[in-house]
């Protein structure tokens, strides 16, 4: 008992069971997150829900281990760049539609790039957009957790 308290005080009170469980479940959570994004056309799901799941996987890492570990798996700079690219994918596709001569966000005009059925392009356009949303939401969720848990210091989490 004394030993455990000393461990906890030194910050070494890591829980082996917890960490192993997280290590095992994180890949499956990520896989499920990807499934939710990709399968949003046919089942409940979509970019936001899947993005939150992907973000939760990294947050779980930060909770079970510590904040630096999650930063090692997902560096801060990569996070910021991916969050911006997620937002840029959405707005970029929207603007691309306008630049190609259609309306803003009119995915069917993208047939001028790759000639497939315009209605199929609508379905595909929604998919691309959802990927952008998922990317953005994942990064923002993790970034929100980092800042909240460490009070902006980014050194140690909860």
Partner 1 sequence: MTSNLPLYVIAAPLLTAFVVNLAGRFWRGSVAILSLGALVFSTISAGLVLQQVLTHGTIHYTVGGWQAPWGIELVIDPLAALMLLLISVVALLATFSALASARQELPGREHLFFTLYLILISGLLGLAVTGDAFNLYVLLEITSITTYCLIAMGKGRAPLASFNYIIMGTIGACFYLLGVGYLYMLTGSLNMADIHGILPGMYGSISVATAFAFLLVGVWIKMAFLPLHGWLPNAYSLAPSSTSVLIAPLMTKVSVFLMIRIIFSIFSPDYAFFQHVGVQHLIVWAAALGILIASGLALAQTDLKRMLSYIIVAEVGYMVGGVWLANTTAMTGAILHIVNDALMTLCLFLAASAIVYRLGDSKLASMKGLYRRMPLTMAAFTIGAFSMIGVPPTAGFFSKWYLILGGIQAGPWAWVYVAALLISSLVNAILFFRIIEIAYFQGGGEHGHDAVPRQEACAWQLSPLLLSAVALLAIGMAAGPLVEHLIIPALPAGF
Partner 2 sequence: MKTLALLATILTGAILLYGTADFAPWGDPESPPNRHLSRYYIEQAVKETHVPNLVTAVLGDYRGYDTMFELVVIYCAGMGVVAVLRRSDS
Partner 3 sequence: MESMLGVVVAKYNYWIYVVLMMIGFYAMIGKRNLVKKLLGMNIFQTAIILFYVSMGAKRGGGIPILDKEAALAGAVKVAEVVNPLPHVLMLTAIVVSVSVTGVALAVLQRIYKEYGTLEEDEILDKIGRS
Question: In this structure, what DSSP letter does residue 151 have?
Answer: T
Residue 63 binds which entry of partner 1, partner 2, partner 3, none, CB below 5-8 Å type-dependent: none
Measured distance CA(91)–CA(57) in Å, rounded: 26
- Tokens 């603007």, residue located: 95
Identity of the residue, 19 or 106, whose beta carbon is nearer to partner 2 in the bound complex: 106
Measured distance CA(72)–CA(43) in Å, rounded: 34
Residue 95 binds which entry of partner 3, partner 2, partner 1, none, CB below 5-8 Å type-dependent: partner 1
Q: Give the residue, chosen from 8, 148, 156, 158, that forms a contact with partner 2 under the rule CB under 8 A.
A: 148
The three-state secondary structure class of 26 is: helix
What string marks each residue from 97 to 116 as x (binds partner 2 by CB under 8 A) or -? Answer: -------xx-x---------
By the rule CB under 8 A, 91 interacts with partner 2: yes
Measured distance CA(36)–CA(121) in Å, rounded: 20
- Tokens 């890949």, residue located: 27
Q: Give the residue, chosen from 6, 99, 100, 148, that forms a contact with partner 3 under the rule CB under 8 A.
A: 148
């Amino acid at each position: 008992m004394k030993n455990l308290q000393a461990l906890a005080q030194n910050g070494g009170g890591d829980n082996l069971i917890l960490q192993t469980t997280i290590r095992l479940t994180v890949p499956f959570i990520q896989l499920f997150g990807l499934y939710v994004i990709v399968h949003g056309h046919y089942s409940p799901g979509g970019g936001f829900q899947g993005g939150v799941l992907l973000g939760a996987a990294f947050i779980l890492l930060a909770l079970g281990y510590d904040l630096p570990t999650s930063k090692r798996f997902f560096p801060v700079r990569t996070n910021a760049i991916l969050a911006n690219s997620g937002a840029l994918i959405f707005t970029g596709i929207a603007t691309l539609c306008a630049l190609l001569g259609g309306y803003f966000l009119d995915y069917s005009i993208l047939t001028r790039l790759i000639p497939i059925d315009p209605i199929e392009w609508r379905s595909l356009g929604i998919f691309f957009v959802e990927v952008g949303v998922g990317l953005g939401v994942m990064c923002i969720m993790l970034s929100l957790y980092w800042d909240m848990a460490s009070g902006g210091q980014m050194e140690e989490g909860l």
